[in-house]
Amino acid sequence: MLLQRILYLLSPILIQSHSIENAIEKLTSNQLESGPPVPIVIWHGINDNYEGWGIIPELFRKNIPGVYIKQICIGNNSSATCGPHEDKIRSWYGDAAEQIDQACEKILQDSELTTPNGFNVLGISQGGLLSRVLVQRCQKANIRVFTSFGGPQAGVNAIPGCDVDMARDFCENIRLILNLGIYAPIVQQHILPAQYWRDPIHPKHYYEKSVFLPAANQDFIVVDEEVEKIKSLEAMVLVKFNQDLSVVPPDSEWFGYYENGQDSVVLPAQDWPVWENLGLSYLSDNGKLHFLSKDGHHLEFTTEWFEENIVPFFQN
């Protein structure tokens, strides 16, 4: 119970970033210029359900009339009825890889998402990580634009809310407890946040015992089919919140992370194997990788900012 209570503190909560006018200009010209709007798939974050971010679908519908939106709901399996209560529970408990497989099945069963037009994806916080791995593993899906909205792409290693005004010793002690117990097999198999917890002080623990993120980021074994799916994107948009206390370090939202052996110096994505192994360098070289940042805490944004910076990536 103590571990579950501690993990509860990992829930992401708020969002903000600056203008993306230059990034929009770099979008590839192979997006359809006519026809129906490209559908949108949304995957919410931890401690939430598919009904929790109604403002985002509203903004998409306001700015893209007639757009079809599917919000991922994770239940016991792909064919079972899924409701908000079950979906919220599953945002905490379960196997990340299995949930991604279930989301893929639901997408492939939806006729609106299996047309030649393809669809775009927005992942919110934890959903930003899960939906990014969905992009690379859902082989039959035609995903065109992927946006991670504060997603912990390189993992997390801090308790949300631990800042200079709080009891630093308490926060550090809790983190030490997590680092000691979070790689236990039973925790790794059943607690979603544990599957992307990354201890930079003892990187060997992470690489050897984490059941999800090292494989998802192709740290050791490169799966060519997954890399090709990433490379096939028209755009990957990574939104980082500069004062984020839920995803720590915030640079994880850009695939950056603490250098091994310490927790102060952050290395950018380009200095990690994921840059080449996952195909991020290819997206960058071809003008398809967009790093957006915004001052503010986790998921703290205004409707005006969202309409100006995010919606254009989803318009035909």
Would you please indicate which residues are annotated as catalytic (active-site) residues? 125, 244, 298
Distance of alpha carbon 161 from alpha carbon 22, whole angstroms: 33
**Residue with tokens 């509860």, as numbered in its chain:** 8
Looking at the DSSP assignment, which residues form a beta bridge with residue 197? 156
Q: Which residue type, as a one-letter code, is found at position 242?
A: N
Return the SS3 of 124: strand
CA distances from 129 to 30, 45, 281 (A): 26, 9, 18
Instruction: Label residue 299 left, alpha or beta by phi (over 0 means left) and psi (-120 to 50 means alpha).
Output: left
Token representation of residue 23: 């990034």
Q: Which stretch of DSSP H or E encloses residue 121?
A: strand 119-124
Looking at the DSSP assignment, which residues form a beta bridge with residue 289? 236
Token representation of residue 287: 């003008």
Alpha carbon of residue 98 to chain centroid? 16
Token representation of residue 58: 């509203």
